[in-house]
Amino acid sequence: MPAPSLVDILRHIAREEPLSSTVRAFRGLTREHLGQLLEEAAVRLGGEPTPRDAQPGAPQVSAPEQAPSPAEALSRLRVYSDGAARGNPGPAGAGAVLMDPTGHVVARLGRFLGTQTNNYAEYMGLLLGLKHARSLGAREVDVFADSELLIRQLGGRYQVKSPTLKPLFDEARRLLEGFTRVKLHHVPRARNADADAMSNRAIDERL
């Protein structure tokens, strides 16, 4: 059996290894993003890109006729955010999931917040997602959250009376003003399940 190439080794690590210790070591790094980085490194070393539907466990989907370029896909992102607090206040976590216009998950983010309220965690989930979207070069964002309070405060329909939330609100507004287009969407919890899962994972795993 021939010795494996470095390209083969990198791709095996990207698909099969949990990479959990590396993800924990770098705040904001997700398992999916790390896998993408390893795949990109393999391509730069001379390997051909692996088709999405050829990867183990990947869903069989038809590619769009005109898929956006990588730069275009990252310039417009959907930011799903959520927060969880067990006890309110209690152990809390923030979560966010970023998707490109085709629905492909770009990043899954989670952060443990210690003892906080649910509303605090909701804002932190949004800040986590917006900061990562900006770091990826996004110019347009669609924000999805199941917190009516958060969406209506950011939309100007509710005032922010809590002295704890006011700094988070101000930071969120500053971040939103840095994008060329922003849309805020209040969605049912069922449509925000991935971000909810990340906020709870952040608590369970102390991300």
Residues with Cβ < 8 Å from 162, sequence gap 6 or more?
119
**Domains of the chain in sequence order:** 6-54 (no CATH), 70-205 (3.30.420.10)
pLDDT digits (tens, 9 = 90+) for 80-138: 999 999 998 999 999 999 999 999 999 999 999 999 999 999 999 999 999 999 999 99
Amino acid 184: pLDDT: 97
Calpha distance 35→37 (Å, rounded): 5
60 pLDDT band, cuts 50/70/90, is very low
Amino acid 1: pLDDT: 57
pLDDT at 54 over 50: no
Calpha distance 183→197 (Å, rounded): 23
Amino acid 64: pLDDT: 46
Least confident of 18-22, 59-63, 112-116: 59-63
pLDDT digits (tens, 9 = 90+) for 146-196: 999 999 999 999 999 999 999 999 999 999 999 999 999 999 999 999 999
Residue 143 CB burial class (10 angstroms; 0-12, 13-18, ≥19): buried
**Bridge-based pairing state of the strands 181-186 and 76-85:** unpaired
**Bridge-based pairing state of the strands 90-99 and 181-186:** unpaired
What dihedral do alpha carbons 73, 77, 80, 83 form, nearest 10°? 110
Calpha distance 50→169 (Å, rounded): 42
Cut 0.75: pTM above it? no
